[in-house]
Amino acid sequence: MMTDKLVKPHGSDSLRPLLLEGDVLAAALEKVKTLPQIQITSREAGDLIMLGIGGFTPLEGFMNKSDWQSVCDNMHTASGLFWPIPITLSTDKVTAAGLEAGQEVALMFGDEAMGILTLFDQYSIDKEHECQKVYGTTETAHPGVKMVMEQGDVNLAGKVEVLSQGDFPEKYGDVYMTPAQTREYFNSRGWKTVAAFQTRNPMHRSHEYLAKIAVEICDGVMIHSLLGALKPGDIPADVRQEAIGTLIDHYFRDDTVVQSGYPLDMRYAGPREALLHALFRQNYGCSHLIVGRDHAGVGDYYGAFDAQDIFDEIPEGAMLTQPIKIDWTFWCNACAAMASTKTCPHDASEHVKVSGTKLRKALSEDEEVPENFSRPEVLEILRRYYAGIAKEDRAEVKLTGASAQ
């Protein structure tokens, strides 16, 4: 048996997956047919799957009001467990009125039974308070704020049994990995320190540079893509996975990197989401998270390095996974190489700053993209994707507020 020398899961000595299997699952799927049903959103389905696979260890379900309040205000649950973003489930007032504490409820995403909630409590929240605390704004132009403001008026709290991982295993195959699977993989490679690279975009040259910095200081890097729902304009997950896989095949050593993905929707919560990204990467076995410019940001809602600074504001020991903070990265014409503000002595006029926004804009307008912006093999895949989008529909994919990651 291999010795596990990876970081322990968050708040626990072992992963706590809530996904049912075998005969227990079969019995639960039969029971679902007799239960009242509520529809859940894509974001809630992603959270439920993360509860199921142990990605949200040690949570046992959706948060009650005291946990919601404490997480919003203090970034920890009522019991003191560090947690930066509320994990909640909501429904409308009419549906909630028909439910009682102790009752079991089937959680449906479309026609599929995703889980069973044992209801402990139901409560209303101040949505603007959550948005201000978590997202730093109440403007509904912010996609995360819009998501909160449009959710149901009543939150349902309780433990869950998870019945399905949705279509992620079938759709993404070996790229989709659970925390137990990534830990097994890291151990099989003999990795003890692993850096996660969070991305919702195809990887351009700056992304590649960030990952290779981490390769130099850790045993391995997991390029960990969000596979859930995004805002309009972000490139679909299947296209991203093909582009990332091609980049890895051509420009990384096989024994230093693994491509993987996880089932969450993007919240675009900037600094708070950076903390969540580090927290659940601890459950996946990662000792570090690469945090570059405007991590998990959108538009101009956050400062370029707010997501780095917030790690200095949380209590020591709040979680084990630590940030690898990297400054502005760019192609320097004078250096003839990728560089950062910490390594390059040349004037800014020599710098070509690369971003997902600029790359999408250029591709959507059929502009030439220089090789110092993105690798040619990656550009070929992205051009093929954009060629399939009618020109009149491309406005949505140009400048819809992306960050570097």
Would you say residue 395 has pLDDT above 60? no
Average pLDDT over residues 344-350: 96
Direct distance between the N- and C-terminal alpha carbons of the chain, in angstroms, rounded to an integer: 37
**What are the distances in angstroms from CA 349 to CA 20, 321, 330, 333, 334?**
57, 36, 11, 9, 10
Phi then psi for residue 106, to 5 deg, are -80, 130
* Per-position b or e across 302-341, b if 16+ CB within 10 A of its CB: beebbbbebbeeeeeebbbbbbbbbbbbbbbeeeeebbbe
Among 52-56, 231-235, 384-388, 397-401, the minimum mean pLDDT is found in: 397-401
Residue 17 has a pLDDT of 98
Q: Give the mean pLDDT of 136-156.
A: 97
pLDDT at 12 over 50: yes
Give the separation between CA 88 and CA 96, rounded to whole angstroms: 14
User: Residue 360: what pLDDT?
Assistant: 78
> What are 211-256's pLDDT values in tens digits?
999 999 999 999 999 999 877 777 888 999 999 999 999 999 999 9
Complete DSSP assignment for 159-206: EEEE---TTHHHHHGGGB--HHHHHHHHHHHT-S-EEEEEESS---HH
Q: Radius of gyration of the chain from Cα atoms?
A: 21
Q: What is the pLDDT of residue 18?
A: 98
Contact indicator for 399, 356 with CB cutoff of 8 Å: no
Is 200 a catalytic site residue? yes
CB 124 within 8 A of CB 27: no
Mean pLDDT of 328-348: 95
Q: Is 110 left (phi over 0), alpha (psi -120 to 50) or beta?
A: left
pLDDT at 21: 98
pLDDT of residue 23: 98
> Residue 399 pLDDT more than 70?
no
pLDDT for 392 beyond 60? no
Map out the domains of the chain as residue ranges. Answer: 22-164, 173-397
- If we measure between CA atoms, which residue out of 207, 200, 226, 229 comes closest to residue 293? 207
Amino acid at site 335 = C
Distance CA 362, CA 369 (A): 7
Cis peptide before 58 (omega within 30 of 0): yes
Q: What is the mean pLDDT of residues 160-181?
A: 97
For the stretch 71-113, pLDDT in tens is 999 999 999 999 999 999 999 999 999 999 999 999 999 999 9
AA letter at 22 = G
Summarize pLDDT for 282-332 with one digit per residue, the tens.
999 999 999 999 999 999 999 999 999 999 999 999 999 999 999 999 999
CATH superfamily of 173-397: HUPs (3.40.50.620)
* Catalytic residue from among 201, 205, 272, 375: 201
Mean predicted lDDT score pLDDT of the chain:
93
Q: Which CATH number fits domain 22-164: 3.40.50.12160, 3.10.400.10, 3.90.180.10, 3.40.50.300?
A: 3.10.400.10
333 as an active site residue: the answer is: no
CB atoms within 10 A of CB 104: 17
Residue 329: per-residue pLDDT: 92
Residue from 288, 275, 173, 277 nearest 220 by CA: 288
Q: Label residue 394 by pLDDT band (50, 70, 90).
A: low
**Predicted local distance difference test score (pLDDT) of residue 398:** 45
Closest CA to 401 of 360, 370, 354: 360
Structure confidence at residue 358 as a pLDDT band (50, 70, 90): confident
Give the residue with greater pLDDT, 150 vs 233: 150
The fraction of the chain above a pLDDT of 90, given in percent, is 84
Residue 400 has pLDDT above 50, yes or no: no
Q: Is the pLDDT of residue 185 over 90?
A: yes
Strand partners of residue 338: 331
- The residues with which 154 forms a beta bridge, in sequence order, are 91
Could you tell me the pLDDT band of residue 39, with boundaries at 50, 70 and 90? very high
Find, among 184, 261, 173, the residue nearest to 224 by Cα: 261
Give yes or no for residue 404 having a pLDDT over 50: no
Give residue 386's pLDDT: 87
Mean pLDDT on 367-384: 89
Residue 403: pLDDT band with limits 50, 70, 90: very low
Mean pLDDT of 177-197: 98
